[in-house]
Structure 1
Amino acid sequence: MNGIYLSQDLTHAYGILEKINKQLNEFEKNGFHMTRQINGKRNIFHLLRNLVPFFSEQYFNTKTINWKNFDFVYIRKGAVLDKSVVRLVKKAKTLNPNIIVILEVPTYPYMDEFNGLVKFDIMMKEKLWTGKLTKYVDRVVTYSDDQKIFGIECLNISNAYEFSGLNIGSEKKDQSINLLGVATLCFYHGYDRLIEGLHKYYANNLNKTEITFTLIGDGPVLKKYQKMVTDYQLEHVVHLEGRKQLSELTSFYQAADIGVDSLARHRSGVSYNSSLKGKEYLAKGLPIISGVKTDLDERNLPFYYRVSSDDTAIEISDIENWYKNLLKDKTKKQLSEEIYLYGKNNFTFDKTFSPVIAYLKGAIDE
């Protein structure tokens, strides 16, 4: 059973690249012989060409592929599903009618993540071409709870993480609570809600527990967060650390008590999200706060707390009470071990990617 995996060049995005490598490992472990085809790095010519609806090209290193050599093709969606993607899957099906075409859509819906001319450009191209994908794509892999995308049946999977061992810090002697967020900071992460909440908490709570928030990462909204912290005089409470190397993150995770996932996915039109960052927090043994429904919601987990999907300030006192209740009859170490074990039992790559493997084996055996 031979497969080919197509993706854009993602050497700049370590987390995504690692996820692709793990998917390829799962294919190989299950008896598939994989070829990986990485799109070349884009130059100014590609960027300009991609602005033109009928000439944009997402995958331009596929002309030498012999489609008859493969039982299936797994395509990780690039920036836009334009004519070139339709042309690609049409060619694969024409030259090999038995080939199975799977399209992974990492985020859905995704249109509200863009704005201005970029959003208009993508909307126009996809309005023209996504309807034609139904002729050639057999399944869409999604981390959402949609049953169909672009009129194509979905394989619903969860994000996964490598649970390679728990490395927790020492027990704290004080009652402080340290919240941690790690992200490439976009508007839909919504950490402004948490900063607003801390501002109100410290303004109104006379007998307050020391609650801090450490945010690692940079991005378009970092300056907004910096201004909020300065205006509210929260420099002693909110620590904006900027981007860090992977090797530097261990100490931050060890010092953290709670991992803060995206708090405003509603701003990008997303109502369900299997968060990769949430799985990383599980692997670090951290309780999780989220502002969007995830694959943890249905499990009634005590260490998972979902706040409202709106723009209101986070009620810090509620977070404080929830966390203290978690530690009523156990130590932080025991709580971390419980969280880690749950993640390891449910969100390893072999478990979360199994719907794709099962579908391919069943389809190919037919």
Structure 2
Amino acid sequence: MIKYYSKLPKRRFVLHIVGGGKVVEEEKTRVSHSIVSDHVIFHGPLVGAALQVIFNQVTLAIDVCDGEEQGVFLSSSLKTREYVAQGLPVVGAIEIDMSRSMKEYFYKFKDTRTINVHEMIEFHDTLYHNEHEYHTIPKKIREHARKVCDIHVVMRPVIAFFQER
């Protein structure tokens, strides 16, 4: 983000960070005295209605960004499922297990070591062409999510296995 804002872009981009821990605290320190301090909002850990307020404000979600460093090359995170259940397209640094069936709503960064704001904006703009799509895209994502990651769909093979026994 610092690289993005150092070029004085016309387009404003705000990053909402929900959660806590050592990495978040390190980012808070790094961001606090930089040119992006007005563009990164740290909310801390949130649940329920407070988290829903944030979901209702944003149009993209960021998934795992350090997976390859950890030896993870495919994300199957519960957080990603929460994002698509909320109707949010997802960007990240590693492949997402649902990306094959919902590929138009997922984007993997070209350089997996960097969160590239330009890439996020380009991806965002491929989805949201007009005001109407800010309502239709989330509905489409939620519909796809129901087919791919709804508990009834995911557990159907497990239930069938036990019923056959």
Output the TM-score relative to the length of structure 2: 0.89
- Is 1:264 the counterpart of 2:69? The answer is no
CA displacement 1:131-184 (0-9 Å, x = unmatched): xxxxxxxxxxxxxxxxxxxxxxxxxxxxxxxxxxxxxxxxxxxxxxxxxxxxxx
Q: Give 1:327's match in structure 2, choosing from 120, 124, 128.
A: 128
Q: Specify whether residues 207 and 325 from structure 1 end up closer, same or farther in structure 2 by C-alpha distance, changes over 3 A only.
A: same
- Matched residues in 1 for 2:18 and 2:37: separation? 15
Q: How does 1:36-47 map to 2 (within 5 A)?
A: none
CA drift of 1:203 comes to 0.5
- Matched residues in 2 for 1:210 and 1:299: separation? 31
Q: Which position in structure 2 is the counterpart of 1:208? A: 10
CA drift of 1:309 comes to 6.8
Q: Specify whether residues 201 and 279 from structure 1 end up closer, same or farther in structure 2 by C-alpha distance, changes over 3 A only.
A: same
Which amino acid in the other structure matches residue 17 of structure 2?
L
Q: How does 1:265-280 map to 2 (within 5 A)?
A: 265-280=67-82
Q: Which position in structure 2 is the counterpart of 1:318? A: 119
Question: Is the CA contact 1:292–1:309 (under 8 Å) kept in the aligned structure 2?
Answer: no
3-state DSSP of counterpart to 1:221: helix
- Matched residues in 2 for 1:314 and 1:245: separation? 25
Question: Is the CA contact 2:102–2:144 (under 8 Å) kept in the aligned structure 1?
Answer: no
Which amino acid in the other structure matches residue 200 of structure 1?
K
Aligned length: 164
Q: Which position in structure 2 is the counterpart of 1:302? A: 104
3-state DSSP of counterpart to 2:160: helix
- Matched residues in 2 for 1:273 and 1:251: separation? 25
Give structure 2 stretches of 5+ with no counterpart.
none
CA drift of 1:208 comes to 2.6
CA drift of 1:237 comes to 0.3
- Matched residues in 1 for 2:154 and 2:62: separation? 22
Q: Which position in structure 2 is the counterpart of 1:225? A: 27
Kindly name which structure, 1 or 2, has the bigger radius of gyration based on alpha carbons.
1
- Matched residues in 1 for 2:68 and 2:79: separation? 17
- Matched residues in 1 for 2:17 and 2:105: separation? 20
- Matched residues in 1 for 2:150 and 2:111: separation? 28
- Matched residues in 1 for 2:98 and 2:159: separation? 23
3-state DSSP of counterpart to 1:222: helix
Question: Is the CA contact 2:15–2:41 (under 8 Å) kept in the aligned structure 1?
Answer: yes
Question: Is the CA contact 1:263–1:309 (under 8 Å) kept in the aligned structure 2?
Answer: no
Q: Which has the higher helix share?
A: 2
CA drift of 1:253 comes to 0.7
- Matched residues in 1 for 2:152 and 2:47: separation? 27
Question: Is the CA contact 1:290–1:305 (under 8 Å) kept in the aligned structure 2?
Answer: yes
- Matched residues in 2 for 1:207 and 1:231: separation? 19
Q: How does 1:22-171 map to 2 (within 5 A)?
A: none
3-state DSSP of counterpart to 1:232: coil
Which amino acid in the other structure matches residue 72 of structure 2?
V
- Is 1:293 the counterpart of 2:95? The answer is yes
CA drift of 1:307 comes to 1.6
Which amino acid in the other structure matches residue 243 of structure 1?
P
Higher-RCO chain (CA-CA 8 Å, sequence separation at least 6): 2
Q: Which position in structure 1 is the counterpart of 2:154? A: 352
Question: Is the CA contact 2:64–2:75 (under 8 Å) kept in the aligned structure 1?
Answer: no
3-state DSSP of counterpart to 2:100: helix
- Is 1:249 the counterpart of 2:46? The answer is no
Q: Specify whether residues 241 and 295 from structure 1 end up closer, same or farther in structure 2 by C-alpha distance, changes over 3 A only.
A: same
CA drift of 1:300 comes to 5.6
Q: Specify whether residues 240 and 259 from structure 1 end up closer, same or farther in structure 2 by C-alpha distance, changes over 3 A only.
A: same
- Matched residues in 2 for 1:358 and 1:308: separation? 40
Question: Is the CA contact 1:278–1:288 (under 8 Å) kept in the aligned structure 2?
Answer: yes
Give structure 1 stretches of 5+ with no counterpart.
1-197
- Matched residues in 2 for 1:290 and 1:307: separation? 6
Q: Which position in structure 2 is the counterpart of 1:47? A: none
CA drift of 1:301 comes to 2.3
